Chain A
Amino acid sequence: MEKTSCGFGAILVALAGALPANAKDQPDITMAINQSPWLNSFVAMVDRYETETGNVVNLDVTPFGGLLEKIRNSVRGAEGTYDLVNVNALWLSEIYSGGFLAPLGEIRAGYALQDGILTYGATTNWDPAVGSFSADGALMGVPVNGNVQVLYYNQTVYDDLGLSVPATWEELYSNARAIADATDMYGFVPRAARDSIVYNITPYIFGHDAAFFRVTGPGQAAIGLNTAEGLAALNAYLRMSGKDVAPPNPGAIAQGELIQLLSTGRAAQAIAVIAAWGALENPSESRVVGQMSAALIPAGPGGTHASSAGHWVAGIPRNVPADRQAAALAFLDWFQSQDVQVKYVEAGGVPVRGDLAATGLGANPAYRFLEAYSANAENAVMGLPFAAAAEASDAMALHFNRAVIGEESPETALNAAAEALAGVLERNGFAVIRQPDL
């Protein structure tokens, strides 16, 4: 009897632990999300939210390649399937400008992001009058993964060769040469495959005070690519892709190959997304656990630092009922708190706050990337802040990639990329100011 009573008590305690701390006060919601390496950390936060609040968030997990179509199909219908959609930085302008998302201020009057949340170049806000991101525009979503680029370097190699963290592109190249000359490692790995080169070259372009284009007024754009600064940026990129420091045929290196080269110790430096950190620190995937460090991406001649924004923003579609919109916002609001973000990092996620280095996490060697992450996130730029970003990216990517594989000279590549970009801008209603050919 005694035994039975103890067992019954234990079951009650276990059940109490499994039950939510608070009663459910929101309807169930469904979120479309990508199957990325950081997904498990997000799932852990969803579990935590459900335990704390009793509310339910269902995740419809889709591989990256298919997520955009699922989002389009849902938000373009009369009634949406998803109450929350996870939108990649490259798709933000399309989804915002299409008017598919409800501004958060319309769901909860006066709603604003919590202090400390990063906006990655104001990409959480959209100004329809300008047709671009703007801090003055309406708040459209909440970042859920801050996947910006950082400079990765192998600290052990740096220590062995007496190298210091590079502050400029020149110093980065010098380090790469020193590593390539003194070891059998590649000094640097560019991510120069056609599909990813625009994302990868962005820090070089903006770090050299160039730009793909600049919005000069409502419906007006000036090309900033085929300029002296743009040429210096592309030359810097090509130098970091050269045979003396980089693997052969870098024009075919995508993110998978880049992480593979770093994690196997075949390469010592790269500019890559912070989400790669988990793979580099995972003993079952990496031979360089504990050896890698992250740093601020080098600055150009004018001292400008830049990082490509590759983050994810969760938005709430217009075409779902108001109670589910409110439930979705309740979850996003909960997700932003510093306490949750600390747990998110501990679960392997990339935070969306810039103030976590000041918490206990900053002193923990396991999270030594945080300071570099926060600094790069502050410099994050959206290189193509308009609705046809994907088309513009593909149009320019061909020429950058051809420059890397030697099919076009840097000048030809920049002129051709600039002309292709101007065509895309004009087709999308911009009056374009072109630069004379280099």
Chain B
Amino acid sequence: MIKWEHFKLTSEVHYMKRLLQIGFFKGTILALFVSSSVFVFAQELAVKESPTLDFTYLKKSDGSKLLTVTLTIFRNRITYPIAGSNITFSLGTDTSTTVIPTNSDGKAYLIIQPGALLPVNEEGYTQCMAGFGGNDTLEATESAIALKDAILKMSLDLIDSVKTVIVWAFLPGTGNNDSIPLAGESVSVYVDRMFSALKIGEGSFDDLGRFTCEFPADLPGVADGTVQIIARIEENEQYANIETVQKYPWGVPSMHGPTGSHRALWTEIAPMWMIVTLTILLLGVWGHYIYVIIQLILIRRESKKLKL
């Protein structure tokens, strides 16, 4: 990208050479004009902000690969998303595969279906690049990931009546028998919760590419005890992020709060004894009132009787 600026500067050099040929006086004027324009241009250069481009890769449980680009700008201690900017994705090639604009959150997504082949170089890596071309106010920026594909699997078993999560990872090969295990890579196991995921195990794969961790016996699940268990390889140098997800009824079935028929001081409907007591009191008092009013009506009737 710097090339264009280089071109401009060399053109100024050419200009300078010509000045000496034109003549000193005219040359001075010209020099002043040119240098001021360079100066102004340099000012413009200084005003351009540099955004941050965050490029992540996640291989999901169903085998699809999600590439996410987040384009943001950090101003006055607050991070703002940059929407509507074109991100150029290149997968394994130098030419652009596609251009996707960022949404209102500053994110651009590209999903690669499972089974879609990506070009791989000699070392077995796929070079993925995401670039932002820049505009009048923002500098251009780009980011790249070199990654290898790997497979992560999880099984949930009751071993010696202990709930155990077994995770194993291997490179894609011809079959299970001759696939190469991912020995020594770190992995974490989570349980999905409402706002975040609770980590229940962390470690590395052994030589056979397996990792075992215990599932806590007393973790609540939803009403029928179902929990969602996630195993993830995170921020790996070669494989970036891979996760696999499974639902299993290993949680303790959870009980929920009082149902609508609950009555207390603070509920909408009062406790029964309160309603009964109040009704008795009010009926008693107002009953007497009605009796007295009847007496008054009788007085009036009496007077009518007397008049006749």
Q: Is B one of A's binding partners?
A: no
